[in-house]
Amino acid sequence: MTHQLADLLDIARTAVQLGTRVLETAAVRQVTAKGPKDVVTDLDLSIEQQILAFLKERTPDIDRYSEEAGGDPARPRRRWVLDPIDGTVNLVHGLPLYGVSLALTDGVQPLLGVISLPTLRRTYWGAAKLGAWCNNQAVAPSTATNLADAVIAVGDYGTGDDADERNAVAVALHAALAPAAGKVRMLGSAAVDLAFVADGTLDASITLGNRDWDMAAGVAIARAAGASVTDTDGTPHDLASRTTIVTAPGLTVAVLDTLRQATTGTTYA
């Protein structure tokens, strides 16, 4: 079965609507710890099940990978990548910055992405050569060129085996940004961060990580909108990149220079 990219984008938008309806109509009933500083709820699992079943029915030839259910770690040529709720901790604590994030990847790059932020009543989508949109309005990154006026989001502190190193770099990054940037924010959702750079709400986003389910949809949308998407060293971002740096085009050099100050001598350099 062969699908055009525009058709797959429509399928992805419909799939994400299924998850959005759950977030709009259901309440969290169960919260389970799944790792250090990380939880999963019954809504994560319900949304995941519904979306994966829908994608299997509509595109049985395309593999599926999700944060909770997992999948083939080898990144087959084409696969759907789902985060049923990006920002679960925000949801549990009543912070209204969370959403459903779905991407289609080709094994190297995200091809398209859809992000729904139900509490904000915003749905973003984008794909190469199809542009980037929010609620049927085309979006573009900010025209900012001065780091001193920029609002920059930084990803959450890390957990897991490399948490100590990653968090030391994150602290150094905050120290470097504090005197240089206009404002620094930690919003608790990669999907929110990248969607907000795509539409100019934020001027840049820096994440010291690159998990497919966190980043793929937002990278596809931000890139389709015209944002710069790189690794720490400025090379074009892909699914194997160590970090995810998304900026308004006029801030790329300044953000990467500041990041270089914080990562010199580390494995993130």
pLDDT tens, residue by residue, 182-194: 999 999 999 999 9
Average pLDDT over residues 157-179: 87
Q: According to the model, what pLDDT value does residue 11 have?
A: 98
Q: Is residue 268 scored above 80 in pLDDT? A: yes
Distance CA 108, CA 180 (A): 33
Which residue has tokens 């502190």? 157
Distance CA 255, CA 248 (A): 10
The average confidence (pLDDT) of the chain is: 94
Average pLDDT over residues 39-66: 95
Q: According to the model, what pLDDT value does residue 111 have?
A: 97
Confidence of residue 93 (pLDDT cuts 50, 70, 90): very high
Average pLDDT over residues 199-206: 98
Kindly give, in sequence order, each residue whose CB lies less than 8 Å from that of residue 234, ignoring residues fewer than 6 positions away: 252, 256
Distance CA 69, CA 2 (A): 26
Residue 225 near residue 114 (C-beta atoms within 8 A): no
Q: Is residue 266 scored above 90 in pLDDT? A: no
For the stretch 11-45, pLDDT in tens is 999 999 999 999 999 999 999 988 777 889 999 99
Average pLDDT over residues 242-269: 93
Confidence of residue 1 (pLDDT cuts 50, 70, 90): very low
For the stretch 213-241, pLDDT in tens is 999 999 999 999 999 999 999 999 999 99
Outline where DSSP puts E strands in the chain: 31-35, 38-41, 63-66, 79-86, 99-105, 110-117, 122-127, 131-134, 137-138, 151-154, 183-185, 204-207, 228-230, 244-247
Q: Is residue 2 scored above 70 in pLDDT? A: no
Which residue has tokens 């900010």? 142
Q: According to the model, what pLDDT value does residue 32 have?
A: 92
Q: According to the model, what pLDDT value does residue 69 have?
A: 83
For the stretch 103-131, pLDDT in tens is 999 989 999 999 999 999 999 999 999 99
Fold that domain 5-138 belongs to in CATH: Fructose-1,6-Bisphosphatase; Chain A, domain 1 (3.30.540)
Share of the chain above pLDDT 90, in %: 83
CATH level 2 (architecture), domain 147-263: 3-Layer(aba) Sandwich (3.40)
Kindly give, in sequence order, each residue whose CB lies less than 8 Å from that of residue 88, ignoring residues fewer than 6 positions away: 39, 40, 41, 44, 98
Question: What number of CA atoms fall less than 13 Å from residue 210's CA on the CB side?
Answer: 19
Q: Considering the entire predicted model, what is its pTM?
A: 0.95
Q: According to the model, what pLDDT value does residue 54 have?
A: 98
In the chain, what are the domain boundaries? 5-138, 147-263
For the stretch 137-150, pLDDT in tens is 999 999 999 999 99
